[in-house]
Amino acid sequence: MTTTNGSDNSHGNWNVERDSNNIAWVHFNKPDASANLLSQTAIKELDDIISGFEKDLPQAVIILSDKKDSFIFGADIKEFTALDNKEQALAFMLKGHALMNRIEKLSCPTVSMIHGLCFGGGTELSLACDYIVASDDKKTKIGLPEIKLGIHPGYGGTARSIERCGPLAAMNIMLTGRALTARAANKIKLIDAMVPVRQLKSAAESYALTAPKRKPLPFLTRITNNALIRPLIASQMRKQVATKAKPEHYPAPYSLIKLWQQYAGNKKLMLEKEAIAVADLATTDTA
C-alpha cells in the first residue's frame, strides 16, 4: 500500500492512504485509547476527509480500524450525556447525520471493513457505506445497542438498517439492542460478506473494485414495509414491548416503532424525523 500525500494523510484520529489502485484506505485509530469512539472531533475530521474525496475522487474508499480487537464502539457517551437541551441534542445528531449522508452519496464505492466490536455509531457509519465486510472471528460483534441507553439509533441507522435487511430483522435488532455475531449479521443480510481475518482486506478490496450489485430483498420481506401492513406489525411490536416496559417509563422503543410506522415509506423524511426523535429522547430522564 502506498501513500500519495505524505504527512498530509494524518487527520488526528484518522490516517488516509491511497494505494496503487487509487483506493483510499481510511484508518481509524484514536490516539492513546484502546478503542475507537465516534466523538464529535472524529466526526469533524472524517467529514473533512470525505470533503477532500469529493474534490479528488478515489477509485473507492475502505474504512477500517487499526485497533486490535474493535472497529468502532459507537459515539462518545460522555459528550452525549453533557447535552443540556433538545436544541443542543439535535445539533449533535445532525452533525452525525450530515457525515453519514456524505458517505452514502460519494460517487465511488465505499466499504466498511469490520473486525472486532462494532456498535452504535460504528454500525451506523458502516450502514452508510455501500458494502460491509466482516471477519468471522469470535471477537467480531455488530449491533445497535442504543435502546439500552434510553434512545434509539440516531445517525441514520433506523432507515438504513431497514433498507438493508428488512423491517422485521432490523427492528428486532434495534428493539433488543443485542449484538450479532458476523455469522448472524450475514444471515439477515446486515452485512455483505463474512470472511476469515486473513482474507478480510482482500475481500474489502474486491468489493471496492468490482462494486457488485446487491440483490433486492425477497418480496415477503419487502411487503412488511408496506404502509397498509406497518400499522398491524407495529401494534404487535408495541404489545411485546409493553410486557417489559410502559411508554411513560421507557419511551425509546415506542418512539422507534412510531418512527418506523409513520415514516418508513420515505427514507429522507424518516432520517429527518429520526434525528428529532433522538434529540427528544436524549433530554428525558430515561436517557
Domains of the chain: 6-282 (3.90.226.10)
pLDDT in tens, the chain (287 residues): 444 443 348 889 999 999 999 999 999 999 999 999 999 999 999 999 999 999 999 999 999 999 999 999 999 989 988 888 999 999 999 999 999 999 999 999 999 999 999 999 999 999 999 999 999 999 999 999 999 999 999 999 999 999 999 999 999 999 999 999 999 999 999 999 999 999 999 999 999 999 999 999 999 999 999 999 999 999 999 999 999 999 999 999 999 999 999 999 999 999 999 999 999 999 877 66
- Residue 206 near residue 271, CB atoms below 8 Å: no
To the query of whether residue 146 is one of the catalytic residues in this protein, the response is: yes
Distances (CA, A) of 135 to 4, 67, 94: 28, 14, 31
Residue of 17, 79, 87, 124 marked active site: 124
Residue of 45, 146, 205, 274 marked active site: 146
Tell me 138's DSSP state: T
Q: Kindly state the helix (H) or strand (E) to which residue 71 belongs, with its residue range.
A: strand 70-72
The predicted structure's pLDDT at residue 188: 97
To the query of whether residue 274 is one of the catalytic residues in this protein, the response is: no
- CB neighbours of residue 142 within 10 Å: 25
Q: Where are the alpha helices (DSSP H) in 83-156?
A: 86-105, 121-128
DSSP bridge pairs for 113: 133
Q: Please return the burial class of 114, using the count of CB atoms within 10 Å of its CB with bins 0-12, 13-18 and 19+.
A: buried
The predicted structure's pLDDT at residue 129: 99
What span, in angstroms and rounded, lies between the C-alpha atoms of 103 and 127?
A: 10
* CA-closest candidate to residue 70, choices 113, 110, 12: 113
The predicted structure's pLDDT at residue 153: 98
For the entire predicted model, the pTM comes to: 0.94
DSSP bridge pairs for 14: 11, 28
The b/e string for 185-197 (b: 16+ C-beta within 10 A; e otherwise) is bbebbbbbbbbee
What span, in angstroms and rounded, lies between the C-alpha atoms of 94 and 161?
A: 18
- CB neighbours of residue 239 within 10 Å: 9
Tell me 133's DSSP state: E
